[in-house]
Structures are given as structure tokens and as C-alpha cells.
Structure 1
Amino acid sequence: MLRLFQGKATFRNLSRYSEMHEKRFSRWSRRAFDFTHFNARLLAHELPEAHERIAAIDASFMKKSGKHTEGLGYFYHSQAGKAEKGLEISLISLVDLNANTAYAIDARQTVDVEEQSRVDLYARHFREVAPALKKASIRYLAADSYYSKVKFIDAVCEQAFDLVGKLRIDADLYWLYPGDYKGCGRPKKYDGKVDIVSEKARFGYHLTLEGGVDLYSQVVYCKRFKRNLRVVLLHNRQKVKEGHALLFSTDAALDPVTILHYYKARFQIEFLFRDAKQYTGLMDCQARCKEAIQMHTNASLTALNLLKLEYRRQKQTTQETVISIASWKRKKFNQHLLLRLFDKLGLSGECEKIAQLFDEFSDYGTIAA
């Protein structure tokens, strides 16, 4: 239903496109379903094993009216640039690097728990999804700077994963001592605190990216995380926008250019939020209990997975391509309407002329290829 409805994805509106009553949709939305297992099996079947893949995690704000919805609280809303009252979902996705496309694995509503921070909730979410990611041969998790916290990094590394993320430009980092042990006293481990501006020469230069951005890298010690990190320093030399950015990986042996590639690929998760909010009803849930909200959010994102994979199968490509979700929703609606008409008129899809009409009018109103 979430692939073809028109309007808002409420229980009453969804019932208009099926034989089922809205109360059935309401009851079924409270039932548990293992979307993690379903999405993992779906992607394992459809995506080529040879494709390189990573996981990405991020959270998104959802507007919600009313006062009695479970999980209602103040969450950061990036569009408004401040915390607002509403709901939040945490999403873990798989990113196909060869096709540069993200697919949802599991979404969880952020419901505050006493004596637990939201970082604890995100860490627990990752621990529960980690076994499915391991089966998909994923080792690296990409996240934005909010997740660069001790509790979350420890949770990722405990599950035998490595995190690719971003640090503050004034992060408390220390150079590793490169000298030999002199045989007297405690061996020296560190060689002073890292000053990015004045000690840039101590970073190893790798290459210059498009737009005049220099890439440097070095393995340093992070006092806060109590571990060595492979740090990638990006320096924009343009006079108008001169500045620095600091990426990192808990895998000290990871190639610096690969770290940059993984972090940039993390942004694909934002397109999942955008498309699900615009086309598959992510923001339309009117339920108040957390079970129904979680079912709705996962169903919305899984419908998006199915549309993307069906498009790739029809186009017979596994490489990077562009898909119009709006056109595919229109196509699914047209097909649903045609099948209902053919059924009422007693027409068979095996007839060549009927099959031609079905193919022709399936694309009615869609964007031309």
C-alpha cells in the first residue's frame, strides 16, 4: 500500500486502496515484525556480493501533533536549527558503494529512558542490529560528528566494527613518539599535543582534491577515546572559504582516501529520509503507541527499498543510476487501478492486446526515461 497510495499514509486513506478496513490496519500496526531480518535477506538476495558496502547511522526529526504520543520530546530539528517538540527515529542503513545508494536496514523510535542518555540508546540500537550487518560482510560504520562519543565508539568496537566519523577541529589529540626506547625508565609514548594549524607539516601529505583541498593523514592518540586513530586532515586553501575538517577511523590501518570516501558515502542516508518523508508516508503516521509508530516508519523505509530494487531489476543495472520515486509511485498506482478495472471487466492479462495496454498505461503521467 505504501508504494501506491495517493495523499497521506493514514489508516483510513490506506484502507481506500484495499478491501481491508482501517481498524485492521490499526490493529496490524501494533504487531511485531522483524524488519531487520527481512531487509537484510532482501538486500543479500538483490545486491551483488562483489559490491563493497558499509553501514551508516543517523537520526531524523519527525513532527507530531498531540500530547499523548509515546516518545514525544524535544529533539534537534536540522531544518529549524534548534530542538523542537516531536519524535525522532534512528536509522541504520546499508550503503552500496559501487552504486552509491543507501538501503534501510532498521529504524527505531528514540524513546527516552531514565538514567540513559540518547547516545546509550543509539549504541543499544547498533548492538542489536550488528549481527545482521556482520552477515552482510560489513565492517565499517559511518556516522556524523554527533556519534563521535566514547560510549558509542566503545559499543561499535566491542562488536568488532570500526567507526568512520568526524572530530572537532580542536580535538584533544597527541602525536605518537617515533623514537626508540633508550632503556631507562618508562618508555615515552607521546610526543606532545597536536596543533593542527602550526604543526600541519607533521601530517603526511597525500594528495590535492578538486577545489584546492589538500588531504593530510597521520595516526595519533585520542585521549578522550583512549585509542589510536587514523586521522584525515582536510585543508581548504581557498582564500574565501579557507578552513579545516578532521575525519577519523578507529582502524588505524585504513587508507586515508578510503576514509574520505566512506564518510562522503554516509550522506546517502539523508536521501532515504527525504524520499520516505515525501513519497512513502514517513511523516503521516497518526498512531500514538510506540509499536505502531515503529511499524509505520520501518514499513515506509522498506517500501522505499522495494521501489529502488524493482527499478534496478527492470533496468538491469547494479551500478550508480538515478531513480524518480515520484514516477514509480505513479506507476504503481496506475498498475493497481488497471488491475482493478481488468478484474471488474473480466479481462485477462494473458491477452496480448490487454498486456500492451497495461504496459502503455502503467507509465501514464510518469517522467520519461
Structure 2
Amino acid sequence: MHKEFAQSLNVVILVKTNFKTNTHSHVILFSSHLDLKADKIIDYYKLRFQIEFNFRDAKDFMNLSQTAVTNAANLAFFMVNLSHHLLADFRKHNPNSGIIDLKAYYRGFRYVHEILKMLPQQPDPILLAQIFAKLTSLGRIHAVYTDFDLS
């Protein structure tokens, strides 16, 4: 309990370590529900941000009618369900991945397809696999390590 905040809190402190630089950062999560386990608090915080993104996206539609707002909210929740389904499949080969990793993968996949449309001929399959692996890993939080380097 803090002297200026007279309510008991359940606190979870996450320590993030960058193994390349050996630096540490901390994330502190709070809950007034004193019986929640740490993993549940972490899960709820993840959901909280997803819900905020959904409402931000719905607001971006600038909908004024009740039907338009309902449609935007339904679309946002549909996208959450779809992304969780895609993420479940994605985690079969990328077990620690999250939504940001999934988005980066599909964004990279789209970029590769668009670039391939501009080429006069397709690269050989080995090079093509390397290009897909490299570009679909850009922007991912949980990096994919490969045996090749295109840099």
C-alpha cells in the first residue's frame, strides 16, 4: 500500500532482457483484484490493449448512426476472432509469437508478392524461400533465426 493511495494492489513486475546488449527494462502491472495470479493479470492487460485498439479503430470510421457504429464494433470483434484463429495456426511453427509477429509476417508476405509481380521472371525456389523468410521476419518481436543471411 502506498501512503497516498490507500488501497491494496496486486503488482506484477516483468523484467525484459535484451540478450544482445544485456540491458534490462521493467514493466509494472497493477490490479485491485488481490486474488488474481500473475499470469491472469498479464493476460488481462493484453486484452485491455486489444479492446482499446478495437474502440480506436471503430472510432476511426467516424460513424454517427447506430447501425454504422454497430457494424464497426462487430467488424473489430470479428477481426480479433480472425486474428486469434490465424495466430493459433501461426504458433504451430512460431510458438512464442504474438499478434505483432503475425501482422509483420503477413505484411512481409504481401510485400514479397507485390515485388514478385514486378519481376520479369521468378527467382529460383531456394532464393525465393530465403526472401520470404527474411522479409516476413522484419518487424517481428520474436525474431526468426535462419541459416542464411541476405544482407
Alignment match, 1:304: 80
Paired residue for 2:20? none
- Please give the residue correspondences for 1:193-232 in structure 2 after superposition, counting only pairs within 5 Å: none
Deviations 1:144-188, CA, capped at 9 Å, x for gaps: xxxxxxxxxxxxxxxxxxxxxxxxxxxxxxxxxxxxxxxxxxxxx
Q: Which has the higher contact order (CA 8 A, sep 6+)?
A: 1
SS at match of 2:139: coil
Match of 2:108 in 1: 334
Q: Deviations over 1:349-369 (max 9, x none)?
A: 883321321122111121125
| Residues matched between the structures, number | 106
Report what 1:291 is aligned to.
67
- CA distance in 2 between counterparts of 1:357 and 1:298 reads 36
Task: Give the secondary structure class of the aligned counterpart of 1:281.
Answer: helix
Which residue of the partner structure matches residue 57 of structure 2?
A: 281
More strand by share: 1
What is the one-letter code of the residue matched to 1:325?
I
Partner in structure 1 of residue 142 of structure 2: 368
- Determine if the alignment matches structure 1 residue 324 to structure 2 residue 107: no
- Residues 275 and 325 of structure 1 are in contact (CA less than 8 Å); yes or no, is this contact kept in structure 2? no
Distance (whole Å) between structure 1 residues aligned to residue 104 and residue 50 of structure 2: 14
In structure 1, C-alpha distance between the alignment counterparts of 2:66 and 2:50, rounded to whole Å: 22
Structure 2 contact 101–141 (Cα < 8 Å) conserved: yes
Match for residue 315 of structure 1? Answer: 91
Cα distance in 2 for partners of 1:272, 1:347 equals: 45
Q: Which residue in the other structure is 1:352 paired with?
A: 126
8 Å Cα contact 2:101/2:140 also seen in 1 = yes
Gaps of 5+ in 1: 1-244, 246-259
Q: Secondary structure at the match of 2:62?
A: coil
When you count helix as a share of all residues, which structure comes out higher? Answer: 2
Report the AA paired with residue 302 of structure 1: F
CA 1:314–1:293 in structure 2 vs 1: closer, same or farther (change >3 Å)? same
The residue aligned with 1:155 is none
The 1:296–1:275 alpha-carbon spacing in structure 2 relative to 1, beyond 3 Å, is same
> 2: CA distance between counterparts of 1:293 and 1:348?
45
Normalising by structure 2, we get a TM-score of 0.50
Q: Which has the larger radius of gyration?
A: 1
Give percent identity, aligned residues only: 14
Contact 2:61/2:72 (8 A) holds in 1: yes
Q: 1:366 to 1:285 in 2, by over 3 A?
A: same
Give the letter aligned to residue 50 of structure 2. Answer: D
TM-score for the superposition, normalised by structure 1: 0.24
Quick one: distance in 2 between partners of 1:302 and 1:270? Answer: 20
